[in-house]
Amino acid sequence: MSEARASESGFAIKGVYTAADLPPELDSRLGEPGRYPYARGVYPTMYTSRPWTMRQYAGFGTATESNARYHQLLKAGTMGLSVAFDLPTQMGYDSDDAIAHGEVGKVGVAIDSIEDMRLLFAGIPLDKVSTSMTINAPGSVLLLLYQLVAEENGLSGSALNGTIQNDILKEYIARGTYIFPPKPSLRLVADTFAYCRKEVPKWNTISISGYHMAEAGATPAQEIAFTLANGVEYVRAALAAGLAVDDFAPRLSFFFVARTTLLEEVAKFRAARRIWARLLRDDFGAKDPKSMMLRFHTQTAGVQLTAQQPEVNLVRVAIQGLAAVLGGTQSLHTNSFDEAIALPTEKAARLALRTQQVLAYETDLTATVDPFAGSYVVEAMTAEIETAVNDLMDRVFDHGSAVDAIEAGFQKREIEQSAYRFAQQIDAGERVVVGLNRFQIDTEEPYEPLRVDPTIEATQAERLARLRAERDGAAVERALAELRTAAEGDENVLYPMKEALRARATVGEVCGTLRQVWGTYRPSDRF
């Protein structure tokens, strides 16, 4: 028999699995679908009653351009929107700020004020569409803008359904779009939990993300371990703010990657559900079953897409999407085949959505719940990953907390070492990437990527100048002063923040006010 192949997480994959490889007490490890420990899925019927939510991540250029793309996606059958914001918006800067030069509208839509948010969602029924916003440090700001636009259309907060990513800790580990130091950032997260429980009760207040760690090179075990450790930190922050675990935990959600290593990915998702359920029940005393459910969104692995022979990415994405569905995801975004080159074209985005629709409506995936339950290989892999995740989480908490481990550089260092190993394996040909280091072609077919209009920055600056000239400047200053006072004390900052945004304060002005009080984080800072 050939030598065992190593999994992405580092354990050996055997050539043949038998009943002897199944973990002990399999029935209790599995449970029933929709019941503790949720290994078989968080809902009893899973996709047999309705498929997962099909989201497409979109946003580029101006709010008007992105709005047109959203209408196209909804017409094509998308069930939920997923909004990409440009880098200045993610960092809490207005489009006319000097630091934003050259980045406006490049990797997502530019949102500077309530006026942009109105344009972004014009003609879209916000009470009928679930909206996910990939925004972190200014997550509360964008949520409030969304709520204000909904109110202008006669909708209450209780009618809104969606998610803000709002996961600041992974920014310090793998992504870098942070604004404030960790402690005030965690306070802002806890304030958002409390605000949404009262004002926007169906909103998922955080999407605790392992996706970006995976894109940075984390193994499946690292992705789950570091994400769940961050989740523990958010639970602790909310409890310290006086919230009861069953008041906020049901609105926690997660965001993971789906790779082409299908079997290990399925096992990863099953292990994650088991571990989270045990943590919430045993460590935090949760009583509400919804508090113990690890509900998650999945995006197919952008890091595995290649600019070489980009059409091959259609095959990769289909396999990755299959892994997510077999793993029990609640919603799914499938990447477009051209995303390794540029922002996706309309045709590429539509093909990505069609991939999900084929999985949902042309296969038998939705006919039965958890088809891999009891599989020798998947159950053995689930146990392997669960052990590896628990060991890694122990190493995180040996530092004291996830934040302490971040300060020590632990997670970042572990991910960088994994990424380096993967790169070495690709360079040596030990890890095959079709079209990149094997099965190449001599010449690539021409491809015309989506181009972003370079005049967007000037257009946004003109809009901002007009906004500042037309609004009541004194009212804005008063509202920002009230926000500053709240940030200096212990009042929930979202209430005065909402009033400032209603008065047409900009995203940059609101974040700038908080910067004045809380400071700006630098990687060398100590806290």
- Which range has the worst mean pLDDT, 19-23, 56-60, 320-324? 56-60
- Measured between alpha carbons, how far is 83 from 207 in angstroms, rounded to an integer? 14
Predicted local distance difference test score (pLDDT) of residue 2: 52
Nearest of 183, 195, 185 to residue 247 by alpha carbon? 195
pLDDT at 39 over 80: yes
pLDDT at 525 over 60: no
User: How confident is the model over 200-254, as pLDDT tens digits?
Assistant: 999 999 999 999 999 999 999 999 999 999 999 999 999 999 999 999 999 999 9
pLDDT at 467 over 80: yes
Q: Which two tokens stand for residue 308?
A: 């070489």
Q: Pseudo-torsion of CA 397, 398, 403, 408, nearest 10°? A: -150
User: How confident is the model over 96-147, as pLDDT tens digits?
Assistant: 999 999 999 988 999 999 999 999 999 999 999 999 999 999 999 999 999 9
Per-residue pLDDT band at 3 (split at 50, 70, 90): low
pLDDT at 378 over 60: yes
pLDDT at 447 over 80: no
Predicted local distance difference test score (pLDDT) of residue 305: 97
Predicted local distance difference test score (pLDDT) of residue 346: 83
Q: How far apart are the first and last CA of the chain?
A: 54
pLDDT at 490 over 70: yes
User: How confident is the model over 345-372, as pLDDT tens digits?
Assistant: 889 989 999 999 999 999 999 999 999 9
Q: Whose structure tokens read 């481990």?
A: 405
Q: What is this structure's pTM?
A: 0.92
pLDDT at 167 over 60: yes
Per-residue pLDDT band at 58 (split at 50, 70, 90): low
Predicted local distance difference test score (pLDDT) of residue 49: 95
Please report, as a single letter, which amino acid is at residue 209.
Answer: S
pLDDT at 527 over 50: no
**Three-point CA angle 388, 390, 392, nearest 5°:** 70
Q: Which two tokens stand for residue 243?
A: 């919230």
User: How confident is the model over 172-199, as pLDDT tens digits?
Assistant: 999 899 999 999 999 999 999 999 999 9
What counts of helices (H) and strands (E) characterise the chain?
A: 21, 11
Per-residue pLDDT band at 526 (split at 50, 70, 90): very low
pLDDT at 434 over 50: yes
- Secondary structure string (H, E, C) spanning 302-334: HHHCCCCCCCHHHHHHHHHHHHHHHCCCCEEEC
Q: Whose structure tokens read 């803008």?
A: 145
User: How confident is the model over 313-354, as pLDDT tens digits?
Assistant: 999 999 999 999 999 999 999 999 998 887 788 899 899 999
Average pLDDT, the chain: 94
> Quick one: average pLDDT of 51-66?
83
- Measured between alpha carbons, how far is 373 from 505 in angstroms, rounded to an integer? 53
Cβ-based neighbours of 365, under 8 Å, separated by 6 or more:
47, 322, 325, 326, 359, 371
What three-state secondary structure class fits 298? strand
Predicted local distance difference test score (pLDDT) of residue 48: 97
Predicted local distance difference test score (pLDDT) of residue 111: 97
Burial 363-399 (b: 16+ CB within 10 A, else e): eebbeebbebbebebbbbbbbbbbebbbebbeebeeb
Please report, as a single letter, which amino acid is at residue 212.
Answer: H
Predicted local distance difference test score (pLDDT) of residue 451: 67
